[in-house]
């Protein structure tokens, strides 16, 4: 079904096990390639954040015809019912900090009327997975979550409470909305999977498990790629 697959990651660290598992060939400073019979797999390292992700993915996609885009990375969970290390299917993404502060209050640009909630290009900022890939058995077996994409990792209890009230997010990350938005504009099949490395709370690195989250994320990638 999918012969030309691209995995998009913000950092090399997040998919290092995948890179070392397959004999990838270095194409450029941020692009690697693996060929296996009829399957062509690319890894694109975009850099962190929405700007780097949108720019690098858009440039890449105009130069390479692909069947499927997979965004893979780690994330922080708001929902304490999600165990650290759990791999998730990010069903939808929206903005988490795109707006204006007024003292202790925050209003996004939809609230302020600068953007139309009904405008097709935004749909309140939400963007979702495209194509039959979301019905793949491995993806269907993952817990579905809604995410906010942010420019800063949150660690202020008051801000976290406000975000939960406003958006009801399960997790947060820094690239997902840009990924889904570019794929939406291109109308390309796409999926985002994230593994939880920490909870969204006042910064406490003792509670983090980045190594375990990366291990579980890459195992899911191995299984998915081998089944496609």
In this prediction, residue 203 carries a pLDDT of 84
CA-based radius of gyration for the chain: 17
In this prediction, residue 100 carries a pLDDT of 79
Residue 40: CB atoms within 10 Å: 17
In this prediction, residue 79 carries a pLDDT of 93
In this prediction, residue 106 carries a pLDDT of 80
In this prediction, residue 152 carries a pLDDT of 83
In this prediction, residue 121 carries a pLDDT of 47
How many whole angstroms separate alpha carbon 166 and alpha carbon 59?
33
Domains and CATH numbers, the chain: 4-227 (3.40.50.1580)
In this prediction, residue 124 carries a pLDDT of 44
Scanning the chain, the segments in alpha helix (DSSP H) are 16-21, 50-63, 137-140, 157-167, 176-186, 210-227
Q: What are phi and psi of 184, to 5 degrees?
A: -65, -45
Q: Please give the model's pTM, rounded to 2 decimal places.
A: 0.91
How many whole angstroms separate alpha carbon 177 and alpha carbon 144?
16
Per-residue confidence of the chain (228 residues) as pLDDT tens digits? Answer: 799 999 999 999 999 999 999 999 999 999 999 998 889 999 999 999 999 999 999 999 999 999 999 999 999 999 999 999 999 999 988 888 877 777 777 877 777 777 766 665 455 445 677 888 989 999 999 999 999 999 888 878 888 888 888 889 999 999 999 999 899 889 999 999 999 999 998 888 888 999 999 999 999 999 999 998
In this prediction, residue 64 carries a pLDDT of 96
């Amino acid at each position: 079904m999918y012969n030309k697959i691209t995995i998009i990651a913000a950092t090399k660290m997040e998919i290092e096990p995948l890179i070392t598992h397959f004999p990838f060939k270095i194409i450029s400073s941020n692009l690697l390639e693996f060929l296996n019979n009829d399957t062509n797999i690319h890894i694109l390292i975009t850099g962190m954040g929405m700007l780097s992700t949108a720019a690098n993915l858009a440039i890449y996609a105009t130069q390479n015809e692909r069947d499927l885009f997979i965004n893979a990375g780690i994330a922080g969970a708001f929902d304490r019912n999600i165990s650290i290390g759990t791999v998730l299917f990010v069903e939808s993404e929206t903005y988490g900090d795109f707006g204006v502060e007024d003292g202790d209050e925050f209003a996004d640009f939809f609230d302020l009327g600068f953007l139309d909630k009904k405008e097709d290009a935004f749909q309140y900022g939400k963007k979702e997975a495209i194509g039959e890939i979301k019905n793949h058995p491995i993806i269907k077996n993952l817990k579905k979550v809604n995410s906010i994409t942010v420019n800063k990792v949150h660690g202020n209890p008051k801000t976290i409470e406000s975000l939960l009230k406003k958006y009801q997010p399960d997790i947060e990350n820094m690239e997902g909305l840009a990924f889904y938005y570019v794929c939406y504009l291109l109308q390309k099949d796409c999926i985002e999977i994230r593994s939880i490395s920490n909870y969204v709370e006042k910064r406490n690195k003792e509670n983090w498990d980045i190594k375990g989250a990366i291990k579980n994320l890459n195992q899911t990638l191995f299984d998915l790629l081998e089944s496609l």
